[in-house]
Amino acid sequence: MSRGRKLAMVPALNEEGSVAAVVEELRAQAPGFDVLVVDDGSTDATAERARAAGAEVLSHPFNLGIGGAVQSGYRFAFLGDYEVAVQVDGDGQHDPGQISTLEAGLERSGADLVWGSRFLEHAGYQVPRLRRAGRVVFARVVSAITREPITDPTSGFRIANRRAIELFARDYPHDYPEVEAILMAHSHDLEISEVAVTMRQRETGRSSINMLNAGYYMVRVLLAIFVGLFRRRPIPPPGDDWLATSPSEALEGARR
């Protein structure tokens, strides 16, 4: 594994009840990682509690959605010369103690992007029936497109090397980013892989996907996947003015 700088980025929206514990656990379980919380326009004390727990905080003035929050994290990582970036949810589902498993997978597979699968070894993670059906459909579709055996394309617990960091800093899907980011990486010739992990249930709050909108979500994601097959997302070349802020402004903004 690279000995360069490593970043744990935590996209968070109104996670005041769990974000401090996530930051504290990251600092204890993954001491080699700097911790960045991307506060995506929260209306509660998410930013204050993350900062008090010892994280750098980058706050959006309004909500950009999970894709925008994650891309801000990748931009921070790219501009800060990080060699590795791991994404950890702010709701407590992802176990920081398993970041080492993701790191080992990155090194062992030689992949650019590795994510943790809840289902690779049938770890017993419980999901509602409709969401489970959607996950199976997405896994089969993404596996067919990438020609890789993929079991959990909706997992947000993932790690990226410098090559993937640069790709996602320059462009990142915003609608359904977990699935689309895998396909985007594949379409730009990045190596992808997954490793078995266990995940916890949410500590606080609730998922935005429920029994009422699960079917709608599945149809929209499939539509986004198939639309994406007919276009290759252009990536601005190095040297272009592709960032909204300069490196110094982005890094300073994260410390406010």
Amino acid 233 reads R
Between 197 and 202, the more confident residue is 197
pLDDT confidence of 221, banded at 50, 70, 90? confident
Residue 53 lies in a domain: yes
At 223 the pLDDT is: 80
Q: At what angle do helices 129-146 and 214-229 cross, to 10 degrees?
A: 10
Whether 170 is covered by a domain: the verdict is yes
CA–CA separation, 226 and 190 (whole Å): 20
76-121: per-residue pLDDT in tens? 999 999 999 999 999 999 999 999 999 999 999 999 999 999 988 7
Q: What is the pLDDT of residues 118-146, one digit of tens each?
A: 988 765 555 656 666 777 888 999 999 99
Q: How far apart are CA 205 and CA 187, in angstroms?
A: 35
**pLDDT score of 7 more than 50:** yes
Give the angle subtended at the CA of 63 by the CAs of 5 and 90, to the nearest 5°: 50
> Higher pLDDT residue, 180 or 123?
180
For residue 168, the enclosing domain spans 5-127+152-206
157 occurs within a structural domain: yes
Residue range 169-187: mean pLDDT, rounded:
92
- In this prediction, residues 214-235 reach a mean pLDDT of 71
CA distance 142 to 221: 11
Q: What is the CATH number of the domain that holds 192?
A: 3.90.550.10
In a domain, 145, yes or no: no
* Strands 5-12 and 192-196, sheet pairing: unpaired
Q: Chain centroid to CA 238: how far?
A: 23
Residue 136: the pLDDT is: 86
Residue 90 lies in a domain: yes
* pLDDT score of 208: 54
Q: What is the pLDDT of residue 248?
A: 44
> How many domains does the chain contain in total?
1
Residue 158 lies in a domain: yes
